Amino acid sequence: MTELARKLRVVDYFTLGWGTMVGVGWLVVMDDWLLRGGALGGVLGFAIGGALLLPIGYVYGQLVMAMPDAAGEVAYTAKVFPQAISFATGWMMVLSYFIVCPWEAVAIGKIAGYIFPSLDSLELYRIAGRPVYLPHLVIGLGLIALLTVLNYRGIGLSATFQNWTTFGTLALFVVFVAFGASKGSAANLPPLFTHGGFVSVLLVMQVVPYYMTGYESVAKAAEERSPGFSGRGFFTAIWMAIVVGILFYTIVIAAVAYAAPWRRLTGEKFMTAVAFEYATGSHWIVRVILAAALLSLFKVFNGNLVAASRLLFAMGRRGLVERKLAAVHPRNQTPSVAVICVGVATAACMFLGDAILVPISEVGSVASAAGWLAACAAYYRMGPAPRERLVAAIGVAVGLGMILMKIVPAIPGHFSGYEWLALAVWGLIGLGLGWRERALAVASAK
């Protein structure tokens, strides 16, 4: 049986983890973050929310070293829990990765429309009052096709693409933040909180799981490590991804709030770019920011496509979903059927337009937290050393807290009806697929 190609190094796992985590939210929905928490509330929300992920990252590092399986959370939970829990965990994690792909495909149309305003034309229809333009669809579908073909052809090509776009994003980030912030003023920072200190931080923390999802994608590509790869490298890549992710988000929020009077700019399209242009009085910095955003968009889309396709592949191999998803291309050594399925599903979701951007981040946060909780609970049940059991218990508590923040009606910022509907639809699809595979297994056993 053809196996997946084994070509990835530590640097590749870092760029996969961090690159899958950081997309273009810092450009596209910065106004949402600042309106949720204010300048200090936004920084604290991402700093605290990100720091809470360190115990979970530790657990993932231990698990992937012990079980380098593309199934990730599915493999971990299958060790100690019934198959139903293993399937549900995997299905939620598929959602957390897959849901990012149409987000980025829609976002590239918005960025292109900002650069070339003539692209905001040829309106086809509206969803939730938001127009869907033909040029946006064409650009987004083109990107989906490009990355689907890239990942179909081989993990080596995908990893090279991920490395260049990740380090390119970081380099441009240093340039525009350093120059833009040098022209700012502390007088621009107020209001530090928009809803009172605690609530402001809480409202930002509610979306942190979505924007910090990605470090655990390292586990999904564990079977593609290069020969002689040290298992400790997984742990290093995961922690580096989390720490660099925290620094990136907190710095960019602080820099935007410092650069310009952000409260007056929240109605602007791409507030981050507008704030730095306001600070410097020059349009060149906008070009740098948009270049960084495009590179970041490419890498996060690519990384989530890798993670989603590998998880689907592994679930198919275990008979949890359609077994054809476990097919490996004989020459490219990629999970070709799973890659194509993620690409096609992403293209279908693109037609929902940019009305999906903020709701997607809300649903994705819960999906991610559910997977993290299950992985930590599985590690706890495996009976590691007392200190590691304590870390796992902390991870369970963090994951549970992140879920409760979104589903308890009494907590500000809880799920709306549309978000419950999206989560319910995904759950029903999973139940249907799981029931079908169990029925086929029973029939084949007779």
* pLDDT, tens digit (0-9, with 9 covering 90-100), for 343-353: 999 999 888 87
Give the per-residue pLDDT at 352: 81
**Contacts with 318 (C-beta within 8 Å, 6 or more apart), sequence order:** 71, 74, 78
Question: Do 180 and 283 meet the contact criterion of CB atoms below 8 Å apart?
Answer: no
Whether residue 332 is predicted with pLDDT greater than 80 in this model: the reply is yes
Q: What is the pLDDT of residue 180?
A: 84
pLDDT at 189 over 70: yes
**From 326-335, 355-364, 375-384, the region with the lowest mean pLDDT:** 355-364
Q: Which residue has the higher pLDDT, 33 or 110?
A: 33
| pLDDT at position 439 over 70 | no
**Average pLDDT along the chain:** 89
Query: Which pTM was predicted?
Result: 0.89
- What is the structure's pLDDT at 336? 94
Q: Could you tell me which residue, 301 or 405, shows the higher pLDDT?
A: 301
Q: Measure the CA–CA gap between 436 and 63, rounded to whole angstroms.
A: 30
Q: What is the pLDDT of residue 35?
A: 93
Please enumerate in sequence order all residues whose Cβ is within 8 A of that of 386, keeping only pairs 6 or more positions apart, or say none: none
pLDDT score for 428 = 87
Flag whether pLDDT at 357 surpasses 80: no
- Nearest Cα to 293, choosing from 132, 18, 147, 107? 107
Q: Is the pLDDT of residue 1 over 60?
A: no
Phi, psi of 379 (to 5 degrees): -65, -40
CA distance 324 to 316: 7
Say if CB 148 and CB 343 are below 8 A apart. yes
- Which of 182 and 145 is assigned the larger pLDDT? 145
- pLDDT beyond 80 at 138: yes
Tally of CB atoms within 10 A around 243: 17
Q: Is 81 exposed, middle or buried (0-12, 13-18, 19+ CB in 10 A)?
A: middle
Percent of the chain with pLDDT over 90: 61
* Residue 358 pLDDT grade (very low, low, confident, very high; cuts 50, 70, 90): low
Residue-level pLDDT at 411: 79
Which has more pLDDT, 193 or 28? 193
Confidence of residue 361 (pLDDT cuts 50, 70, 90): low
What's the mean pLDDT in 229-254? 94
Q: Give the C-alpha distances (Å, rounded to integers) separating 201 from 21, 171, 425, 436.
A: 20, 29, 30, 43
Percentage of the chain beyond pLDDT 70 is 96
For residue 443, name the pLDDT band (cuts at 50, 70, 90). Answer: low
Distance set, CA 258 to CA 26, 37, 136 (Å): 15, 15, 32
List the structure tokens of 244: 């660099």
